[in-house]
Amino acid sequence: MTLRMQLTLTVALLFLLTFVGMSVISVDNARRYLAEQLASHAQDTATSLGLSLSPPMKRNDLPTMTSMVDAIFDRGYYREITVRSIHGKMLIRRNLPVKVEGVPAWFVNLVSIETPEEEALVMSGWRQAAVVQVRSHPGYAYRQLWRNSMDELAWFSALASITLVLGSIAMHFMLRALHAVEKQADAISARDYLIQEKLPWTKDLRQVVEVMNRMSSKVRQSFEEQQKLAEMLRAESYLDPVTGIGNRRHFDVQLANLIHSHEEFHSGAIFMVALAGFGDYNGKAGFEAGDVLLCNVAGGLRAIAEDMKGAVLARFRGATFVLLVPNVGLGEIESIADQLIEKLGPLIPRDQQWKEGALHVGIASFEKGMSASSLLSEADMALRSAQSRGPLGWNRFEGRLAAEEVRGAGFWREFLEKAVGAEDIRLQFQKVIGQEGMVHHEVLLRMSHEGELLNAGIFMPMAEGLGYAGRLDRLVISRTLEILRRYKNEKFAINLSAISVSEADFVGWLEERLAGIGRDAARLSFEFSEYDVARHETGIGEMLARISRFGCGFGVDHCGRGFASFGYLAFLKIDYLKIDGSYVRNIDRDRGNQFLVQAISSIAHGLDIRVIAEAVETEAERDILPKLYVDGLQGYLIGKPSSLD
């Protein structure tokens, strides 16, 4: 029950109690007054009639006496008139049954009006001859009392109605501040820190609003401080202080994680970019000029890499940078190499201080089963070969290429068109568990080729580039909804591409499908990578707002892989985030990552967001993660991808 309703009912109850109390007092006073008037009326009539009956009584003229009694009784104001001899003999008796017209029977029964019997003597000369007894009829009194009660009720009802209307209007303005406080509290729980600029004029309510404003500011400040702390810890551990891009540690951790992430990293390439003669330039032009040059090159690399999903950029050592690009084919490798030379070459100074300035790129392609050291060695050899060929140029290590790298866009277009047209996809599922049991199954897309199931990491980059991502997402959703009907007690999480969300009719199509499964939609969650969230926050936020009414969950995948600000956690209404495996692998031996994961968990829990760790593969990792406030676990130790059966 709302406060307004409670106040309204309270006021109405007080009015009712006041009315009942006043009515009881008023009716009782009126009843007593009317009873006294009836007694006085009866006494006056008895006295008058006694005097009138004395002469005929002296003559013993009973007919005349009877006529005189009838004349008075017929007026209808009397309930009973009797004349008795002094010895008690009944001489005349007239009575009228008590029948009150125009007054409800319940009122007559509820309010008792006494009609006392009054008497007077009838004289015969100086001798007492008879007694006249008169009792007034209460009908008039009841009618008068009823009219008075109805008049009081009408006036009181009108007054109560006016009071309630005016009180409701007054309460509307007074409680408007409380409604604003309610919205403010809801906004805070929804990670929106509103401040009420307009303060109510009521002192008590103003104090409440001021306290809520302070609390909202403090919560915002606390979140921002936690966010800055986590980002500072990450920067200290993984950012190069000169260029602002990743450092060697960041690159090594990301490379090791990707090599072990068969679902995401099936092929790719490392581009090792080096500035030859930088040491001489640094000594002649000064360290400040050298730092500026490094920052310019890092900025150029960042501009090239920012549109490459999953790319890892770092300063490897000195004036050497590395760019790791997952899931690229041979044609794309050569295109990126040309782009690096074209964009970065003009940044190299051509002056007397650096006559031998040059820029070279060495490239190594990743093949399944390669180690990180082998891949880096091949990139370094390719770089040395490029340096021997001139001031600007690139070279690719001539090793064996993975089959997926040799296949070009034509092959993938034909393969995807055939598979999507025939709806030839497979689904596998990987468990995510929490402290209380199963959280959900993550849905993993597979495609069959020459008797082998291909992971999504092999074909999804080409599918996104060729415009098949939306159609694949629809197939995965439709197939998952069929499975949802068969497995009534299971929950599922589906990874979506931001490209699908950008399609004009995708969200509308998804709304129709979710509406069709009713309450089962609450057993579905949708995940986006942090890379997509950082670049498509508005579109993804609009989608979440539209389908949140179905009760679906929302998650962010690979949280922390890049250097995106954690600020999106406060603005997107997500339910859980998955910490990237690069922070989870060997976390039992890495104090820096332990502090970082704990900081991210604190931020998330402050926003009512659950935290799940990806790529859990050892018992030591599994055991330490709950101590860092991680809520759920996923990885090969928990369960490998498989069918539900």
Q: Within 13 Å, how many C-alpha atoms sit on residue 295's CB side?
A: 10
Residues for the chain: how many in total?
Answer: 645
Find the range with the poorest average confidence among 77-91, 341-355, 548-562, 573-587: 341-355
What's the Cα-to-Cα distance from 327 to each of 395, 411, 451, rounded to whole Å?
19, 15, 21
333 and 258 in a single domain? The answer is yes
Q: Which two tokens stand for residue 485?
A: 């009907």
Can you give the pLDDT at residue 405? 45
With bands split at pLDDT 50, 70 and 90, how would you rate the model's confidence at 2? low
What's the Cα-to-Cα distance from 352 to each of 284, 346, 390, rounded to whole Å?
10, 16, 19
Helices H / strands E in the chain, number of each: 22, 18
Residue 74 lies in a domain: yes
Residue 521 lies in a domain: yes
Mean pLDDT, range 265-281, rounded to an integer: 85
Residue 223 lies in a domain: no
Longest CA–CA span in the chain (Å) reads 164
Contacts of 427 (CB under 8 A, 6+ apart): 443, 444, 445, 446, 476, 479, 480, 483, 643
Residue 13 lies in a domain: no
More reliable by pLDDT, 131 or 7: 131
Can you give the pLDDT at residue 201? 66
What are residue 633's DSSP bridge partners? 433, 613
Q: Is 525 exposed, middle or buried (0-12, 13-18, 19+ CB in 10 A)?
A: buried
- Residue 554: enclosing H or E segment and its boundaries? strand 553-559
Mean pLDDT, range 72-93, rounded to an integer: 83
Q: Which two tokens stand for residue 490?
A: 């299971």
Find the range with the poorest average confidence among 151-160, 235-244, 591-600: 151-160
3-class DSSP assignment, residue 511: helix
440 and 512 in a single domain? The answer is yes
Q: Which of 406, 438, 457 is the last residue of a domain?
A: 406
485 and 371 in a single domain? The answer is no
Q: Is 424 exposed, middle or buried (0-12, 13-18, 19+ CB in 10 A)?
A: exposed
With bands split at pLDDT 50, 70 and 90, how would you rate the model's confidence at 280? confident
Find the range with the poorest average confidence among 104-113, 272-281, 396-405, 417-426: 396-405
Can you give the pLDDT at residue 272? 94
8-state DSSP, 266:
S
353 and 439 in a single domain? The answer is no
- The yes-or-no verdict on residue 133 having pLDDT over 70 is yes
The answer to whether the CB of 361 falls within 8 A of the CB of 273 is yes
413 and 399 in a single domain? The answer is no
Using one digit for the tens of pLDDT, what is the confidence trace for 33-63?
A: 877 887 888 888 888 888 888 888 888 888 8
- The yes-or-no verdict on residue 8 having pLDDT over 80 is no
Can you give the pLDDT at residue 384? 87
Residue 289 lies in a domain: yes
Residue 16 lies in a domain: no
396 and 500 in a single domain? The answer is no
The answer to whether the CB of 170 falls within 8 A of the CB of 163 is no
Residue 326 backbone dihedrals phi, psi, to 5 degrees: -75, 150
CATH number at residue 264: 3.30.70.270
Domain count within the chain: 3
Residue 164 lies in a domain: no
More reliable by pLDDT, 534 or 1: 534
Can you give the pLDDT at residue 245? 93
Can you give the pLDDT at residue 190? 61
- By DSSP bridging, strand 117-124 and strand 127-136 are antiparallel
- By DSSP bridging, strand 576-579 and strand 553-559 are parallel
Can you give the pLDDT at residue 402? 45
Mean pLDDT, range 131-156, rounded to an integer: 83
8-state DSSP, 239:
B
431 and 396 in a single domain? The answer is no
Find the range with the poorest average confidence among 144-153, 219-228, 461-470: 219-228
Mean pLDDT, range 274-288, rounded to an integer: 83
Q: Which two tokens stand for residue 219?
A: 């919560």
Residue 552 lies in a domain: yes
300 and 374 in a single domain? The answer is yes
290 and 390 in a single domain? The answer is yes
Can you give the pLDDT at residue 408? 64
Instruction: Name the residue among 391, 407, 409, 394 with its Cα closest to residue 270.
Output: 394
- The yes-or-no verdict on residue 401 having pLDDT over 70 is no
CATH number at residue 588: 3.20.20.450
Residue found by looking up tokens 């790298």 in the block: 405
What are residue 434's DSSP bridge partners? 437, 632
Q: Which of 406, 424, 449 is the last residue of a domain?
A: 406
546 and 627 in a single domain? The answer is yes
What's the Cα-to-Cα distance from 384 to each of 151, 327, 361, rounded to whole Å?
109, 25, 9
Mean pLDDT, range 329-337, rounded to an integer: 84
Instruction: Convert 25-70 into a string of H (helix), E (strand) and C (coil).
Output: HHHHHHHHHHHHHHHHHHHHHHHHHHHHHHHHHHCCCHHHHHHHHH
- The yes-or-no verdict on residue 393 having pLDDT over 90 is no
- The yes-or-no verdict on residue 507 having pLDDT over 80 is yes
Can you give the pLDDT at residue 492? 97
Can you give the pLDDT at residue 353? 45
Can you give the pLDDT at residue 142? 79
- The yes-or-no verdict on residue 243 having pLDDT over 90 is yes
What's the Cα-to-Cα distance from 64 to each of 58, 452, 579, rounded to whole Å?
12, 133, 118
Contacts of 173 (CB under 8 A, 6+ apart): none
Can you give the pLDDT at residue 523? 95
The answer to whether the CB of 562 falls within 8 A of the CB of 530 is yes
Q: Which of 406, 429, 462 is the last residue of a domain?
A: 406
With bands split at pLDDT 50, 70 and 90, how would you rate the model's confidence at 399? low
Domain residue limits at 304 = 239-406
With bands split at pLDDT 50, 70 and 90, how would you rate the model's confidence at 404? very low
358 and 481 in a single domain? The answer is no
Using one digit for the tens of pLDDT, what is the confidence trace for 536-574?
A: 888 999 999 999 999 999 999 999 888 888 888 877 889
Mean pLDDT, range 597-616, rounded to an integer: 91
319 and 255 in a single domain? The answer is yes
For the chain, the average pLDDT equals 84
